[in-house]
């Protein structure tokens, strides 16, 4: 793999190899890990806001002994503001860094420009398209919490139209055995038609839940997401979100072994009162992102896998 732009590039074997490598890197003494990318420089270019993805990627580089050059708020603060094309940005930044981690507002622009980069490009979230490294860390979290990535009922909630984490996660889950998907979303924010068709073609069973309680009842994994308010395009999409908040009352219909995930940030769709419950796994999920991104960088820059 040269660039990592879509979760479609990650088959089941590679996903499990990355999970094993993430576990190994988690257990590795820090001084040993620091030798792995010693001398390497990774550029992080973020054209959209981020807390977890940017900081976990940058922490991952430092934990592996590499160094980071960064453009935060790159839409305003880099020469993209002057009209420089993304292809030229890649051509130039590729002279300074050994890999480029980028979050961009346009999936199409990112896909078109990546071939011009002389160094590997990692998609750290592209518009309302994909967020492949989030799906890898989500898979890692499910595996770590439940011990498997097969034979699971997964309830996916919230903004399925613009939520790029959902797009990548569903595509990855569709490759696993025995996955059953339940969806619950505000009426105008269902899956994009091409993804819905992809899921139908994959043969994975998908049901649409009547309400939130119906969605989470008996699920193994509940994957809650934020309504992407900044991406809503039409008046009818500006829907009430109250019906989509997971509250303590929902825990009564959720099995003890189940886990609640959320890519974060959350803005009201999970009541903080449930945070102390063992089933609330979203902060552990955010931590897992560090180790999965260490594994991915190690794989892409050194060819290492578990």
User: Which residues are known to be catalytic?
Assistant: 52-53, 82, 103, 131
Write the burial class of residue 257 (CB in 10 Å: 0-12 exposed, 13-18 middle, 19+ buried).
exposed
- Segment near ligand CP (CB under 6 A); pick from 29-37, 82-90, 183-191, 260-268: 260-268
For residue 298, give the nearest of 69, 122, 126 by alpha carbon. 122
* Cβ proximity to ligand CP, 53 vs 153, nearer residue: 53
Complex with ligand CP: residue 163 or 186, whichever CB lies closer: 163
**Residue 166 CB, nearest distance to ligand CP (Å)?**
11
Burial class (CB in 10 A: 0-12, 13-18, 19+), 115: exposed
Q: Specify which residues 44 forms β-bridges with.
A: 70, 101
**Maximum Cα interatomic distance, the chain, rounded to a whole number of Å:** 55
Total number of residues that touch ligand CP (CB under 6 A): 10
The token pair that represents 200 in the structure block: 């139908």
Place of tokens 């940005």: 89
Site for ligand CP in 14-73 (CB under 6 A): 50-53
Least distance to ligand CP, CB of residue 100, Å: 16
Q: Which of 15, 117, 128, 134 binds ligand CP (CB under 6 A)?
A: 134
Q: Could you tell me the smallest distance in angstroms from the CB atom of residue 139 to ligand CP?
A: 14
Unique residue bearing structure tokens 């979230």:
125
Under rule CB under 6 A, residue 156 binds ligand CP: no
CA Rg value for the chain: 19
184-192, 213-221, 227-235, 261-269 -> range binding ligand CP (CB under 6 A) = 261-269
Q: Residue 36: which of 54, 60, 58 has the closest Cα?
A: 60
Residues contributing to the site for ligand CP (CB under 6 A): 50-53, 125, 131, 134, 263-265
């Amino acid at each position: 793999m040269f660039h990592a732009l879509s979760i479609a590039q990650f088959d089941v074997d590679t996903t499990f190899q990355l999970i094993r490598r993430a576990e190994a890197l988690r257990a590795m003494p820090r001084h040993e890990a620091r030798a792995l990318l010693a001398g390497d420089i990774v550029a992080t270019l973020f054209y959209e806001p981020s807390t977890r993805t940017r900081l976990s990627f940058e922490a991952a580089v430092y934990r592996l002994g590499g160094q980071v050059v960064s453009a935060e708020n790159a839409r305003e603060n880099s020469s993209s503001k002057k009209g420089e094309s993304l292809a030229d940005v890649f051509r130039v930044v590729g002279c300074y860094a050994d890999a480029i981690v980028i979050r961009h507002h346009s999936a199409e622009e990112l896909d078109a420009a990546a071939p011009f980069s002389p160094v590997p490009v990692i998609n750290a979230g592209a518009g309302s398209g994909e967020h492949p490294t989030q799906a890898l860390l989500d898979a890692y979290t499910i595996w770590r919490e439940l011990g498997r990535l097969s034979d699971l009922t997964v309830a996916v909630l919230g903004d399925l139209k613009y939520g790029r984490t959902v797009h990548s996660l569903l595509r990855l889950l569709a490759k696993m055995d025995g996955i059953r998907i339940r969806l619950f979303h505000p009426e105008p924010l269902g899956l994009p038609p091409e993804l819905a068709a992809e899921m139908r073609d994959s043969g994975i069973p998908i049901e649409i839940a009547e309400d939130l309680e119906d969605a989470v009842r008996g699920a193994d994994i509940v994957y809650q997401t934020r309504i992407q308010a900044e991406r809503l395009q039409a008046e009818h999409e500006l829907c009430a979100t109250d019906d989509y908040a997971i509250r303590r009352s929902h825990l009564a219909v959720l099995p003890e072994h189940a886990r609640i995930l959320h890519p974060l940030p959350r803005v009201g769709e999970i009541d903080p009162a449930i945070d102390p419950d063992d089933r609330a796994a979203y902060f552990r999920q955010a931590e897992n992102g560090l180790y999965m991104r260490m594994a991915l960088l190690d794989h892409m820059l050194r060819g290492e896998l578990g």
